[in-house]
Structure 1
Amino acid sequence: MKTIKKLLVISILMVPLFGAAQIYLDKYNFGEGLNFSGEKGYKMRLEGFIQPYMETKRYTGTDDSELYNRFRMRRLRMQLSGSLADEKLSYRLRLDLSGTSEADLDEANSNILLDAYIRYSIDDNLSVTFGQKSTPTDNRELNINSQTLQLPERSRITSVFSTIREFGVFLDGTYRITPGGMYVRPAVAITNGDGQNAFKKDYGGLKYGGRLDFLPFGLFSNFGQFREADIVRERTPKLVVGMNYSYNDGVSSRRGRNSGSILYLNDRNEEELPDFIKLGVDFMFKYQGFSMLGEYVKGSAKVSKDITQRVRNDGSVSSGFEIDGQQHVANYIKNRMMLGEGYNIQAGYIFTNLISVDARYTHLRADKYSFMNNGTFYNRPNYYTIGVSKYLSRNYGAKIQASFTYVDAAPGSNDNAGNPIDGNEWVGRLILTIGF
């Protein structure tokens, strides 16, 4: 699999060579990339953006609580995409040069390679993609481009349950089902089930899943289904309602994101892994500057009775699965997985002067045995966020965003250093986006 992925990247870089001997700059609009075309109809686009970011956090309950400040380049992304003359064959190569991860610190993976795939359009309604990309089995916010987010960061639902990107085969369709403009968008994915891990060994079996989106009022304008705020101010109401499901046959991490981070064996010292199941429903609505996004996700597990050993971080093997002094294999394994449910609801409005006011509420409910009860990274059931954004162009080319989040910390929660906290916490964020 590692060799296949390397060959795919090389193939993507070679696609332009087959399209045309010469290419010319066709047009450039700020924030929308450099668009090139070839004398034989070949098309290519080079685009990217940077996001300097600042975060400050404080814990309530004590007067002398310290401020935790964080400054970093949140994202620094470059993307090369294109298609041949008949647009049947297209490709994308996306890199992140910031050195940070879209994931949390509990299971971060800061791979430079984000997207690397080749797509073939079977007809006007159906396409097949092979490579690494975002998966339709994640919640709706993971189908939203990072440059177009409504708030400085994605919701906690995304960080808890999503796999972000996967390597595999993807089938995507768009079908008009009524003369009045109703559409359905089915998607099917068969992936390695190990998340964004382009150059690592694959563990476990495959992951199978899909999504079905229903658009009763027609398609969104200017790819609005994949952009959060309604900057184009939809002239008629637009709505998409979707459902997604996935079954990961043998997961070697908390939710199928970081391959090989958690491994188990049977009594014959053979790899034996639990399965991870995820179900979600979501919607997005836009009309004349107003937008609303709602998501629900539930994660569950199926633990094999054949698991008798676990692999420690140092590579040694142990048969101990103790919880509160008692041996319990299934519950011990579940304690290391993201099991439970949560929902996220957010809404905002962009005024004609390109100032946006937004709000979000996220709720998480962990199973009794789940890593969502971890005191340092999670164990926080409620997140209340308000934000304001100023768009500096009438697209997503430049904007500045600020938000304030108040977090309910459940008993047993810790600060960043692992020390117990008595109260709750608040987080302030500031991010600047510049694209080309």
Structure 2
Amino acid sequence: MNKFFSLLFFLISLFSIAQDIKFSTKDNDLKLATLPYYNYGRGLGLTSPDSIFQLNIRFRMQNRLGYLNHEDQEDAFDGQIRRLRLRFDGYVGNPKFLYAIQLSFAPGDVGEIEEGENINIIRDAVMFYRPNKHWSFAFGQTKLPGNRQRVNSSGALQLTDRSINNARFNIDRDFGFQAYFLNEKKDKFSYNIKTAISTGNGRNVTKSPDDGFALTGRLEFFPLGSFAKDGTNFEGDIAREQKIKMLLGGTFHRNVKARQTQGQLGSDLFEKRTMESFFVDAMLKYNGWALMSSYMNRTAENPLTFNPEDVTDFRFVYVGEGFDYQLSYIFPTNYEIIGRFSTQKVNESIQNFTPDTKQYSVGVTKYFWEHAFKIQSEFTLDDLSYFDGSSKTNWYIRFQVEIGI
């Protein structure tokens, strides 16, 4: 608990120091660093006549049709509203005090309604204090500063979804405090520092309080200066960088006494476990070309947990590591070709229960209104390797339309 109070004191101290920094409203552009989303405008905006408050309204939806081929199942079509989001952001009283709310309504976002569990409509509900363009302090529920692809909005992806490693190893939304120092410069070496202290339980959790918590820290370096149009917040080089731009980032996350198999996500464990996650990622863009690569890792002591009433019933922390590699090029016609290769290797302690995986994906995207209105097609093949030497191959084809404001 000493670590908890030390970090809390540190965040409060930063808040006190930041109050003495001179503030200019022209620097506060509503770019909320903890909620990067693709923005081709400002949505539908309302500002009161006396400028005491501002409200921006946005929506986006993804409609998806897929054909799935799994070796142990019959071939099937899958049609669904993959995502349907409504978002509000703005300020109250003074542009230094901001808020952001994001609600989700698609079945895949909300999940099944179970007795005793909360409905998962609320994705983000967070308040900000931004004294200037560098400092940002947040309190509420939002994304933690994890891997670059996970922090990016799902509406800013080149393929129809994130990689298998993001699905298994990454950290997610959580409730707590965050403090960011952003120091991006156009053509000079730049860096960002992002920190968070949170509950470690994920979003919309109202289970009995406990003494668990999570600490997160991330560093981002821009050796050649910042990207055009906030290009770190979307995949692909739709901005067509005139000079080579690069991002190098790393995150460390420690979730103390976590309740779920993937920290903020997954099924409930029978016993709490402390787990650590480490991420390294890189992004490079130039003249329509974009390259992304990442490494993800999760560790935990004794990842297996057993039901005290039935020793044959068990659940485990998903421990292991994975690599992602993604390359793309966008033509002057705004058609883009994308390729991604992912490897995922589980820890030997859980090899008997889940396979190692290699995933191959290729896609073609047509941008009509950048990421705000696009049509995507994708073919993905999963190669699963089991501990007993057996293997399985699954594949799917997807067609997806994304539109929003």
Report what 2:154 is aligned to: 146
Report what 2:243 is aligned to: 236
Aligned-partner Cα distance in 1 for 2:111–2:323: 18
Report what 2:142 is aligned to: 133
User: Do the aligned partners of residues 425 and 319 (structure 1) sit closer, same or farther apart at CA in structure 2, a change above 3 Å counting?
Assistant: closer
Normalised by the size of structure 2, how large is the TM-score? 0.81
**Of 225, 228, 241, which residue of structure 2 is paired with 1:221?**
228
Alpha-carbon contact 1:217-1:238 (below 8 Å) kept: yes
State the 1:204 CA deviation: 5.0
Partner amino acid, structure 2, of 1:59: H
**Of 309, 314, 317, which residue of structure 2 is paired with 1:337?**
317
Number of equivalences: 362
Task: Describe the SS at the equivalent of 2:398.
Answer: strand
User: Do the aligned partners of residues 155 and 176 (structure 1) sit closer, same or farther apart at CA in structure 2, a change above 3 Å counting?
Assistant: closer
| 1:281 counterpart = 2:280 | yes
Alpha-carbon contact 1:252-1:262 (below 8 Å) kept: yes
| 1:262 counterpart = 2:269 | yes
User: Do the aligned partners of residues 85 and 350 (structure 1) sit closer, same or farther apart at CA in structure 2, a change above 3 Å counting?
Assistant: farther
Task: Describe the SS at the equivalent of 1:217.
Answer: coil
User: Do the aligned partners of residues 289 and 251 (structure 1) sit closer, same or farther apart at CA in structure 2, a change above 3 Å counting?
Assistant: same
Report what 2:36 is aligned to: none
Report what 2:309 is aligned to: 318
Aligned pairs for 1:22-421 (under 5 A) are 32-41=42-51, 42-59=53-70, 66-84=74-92, 86-101=94-109, 111-136=120-145, 138-175=146-183, 181-258=188-265, 261-264=268-271, 273-303=272-302, 310=306, 312=307, 317-318=308-309, 320=311, 336-370=316-350, 374-375=353-354, 379-393=355-369, 395-411=370-386
Partner amino acid, structure 2, of 1:68: A
In structure 2, stretches of 5+ residues that fail to align are: 1-38
State the 1:83 CA deviation: 1.9
State the 1:198 CA deviation: 4.2
Alpha-carbon contact 2:383-2:391 (below 8 Å) kept: no
Partner amino acid, structure 1, of 2:291: M
Q: Which has a greater percent of strand?
A: 2
User: Do the aligned partners of residues 355 and 374 (structure 1) sit closer, same or farther apart at CA in structure 2, a change above 3 Å counting?
Assistant: farther
Report what 1:7 is aligned to: none
Partner amino acid, structure 2, of 1:53: R
User: Do the aligned partners of residues 110 and 139 (structure 1) sit closer, same or farther apart at CA in structure 2, a change above 3 Å counting?
Assistant: farther
Q: Deviations over 1:84-136 (max 9, x none)?
A: 464211110000111213999xxx99711101000001333111100011111
Alpha-carbon contact 1:53-1:71 (below 8 Å) kept: yes
State the 1:176 CA deviation: 5.4
Aligned-partner Cα distance in 1 for 2:118–2:319: 20
User: Do the aligned partners of residues 176 and 101 (structure 1) sit closer, same or farther apart at CA in structure 2, a change above 3 Å counting?
Assistant: closer
Task: Describe the SS at the equivalent of 2:167.
Answer: helix
Partner amino acid, structure 1, of 2:335: I
Alpha-carbon contact 2:170-2:296 (below 8 Å) kept: no
Aligned-partner Cα distance in 2 for 1:69–1:110: 27
Task: Describe the SS at the equivalent of 1:278.
Answer: strand
Normalised by the size of structure 1, how large is the TM-score? 0.76
State the 1:58 CA deviation: 1.1
Report what 1:327 is aligned to: none
State the 1:257 CA deviation: 2.1
Alpha-carbon contact 1:203-1:252 (below 8 Å) kept: no
RMSD over aligned CA atoms reads 3.0
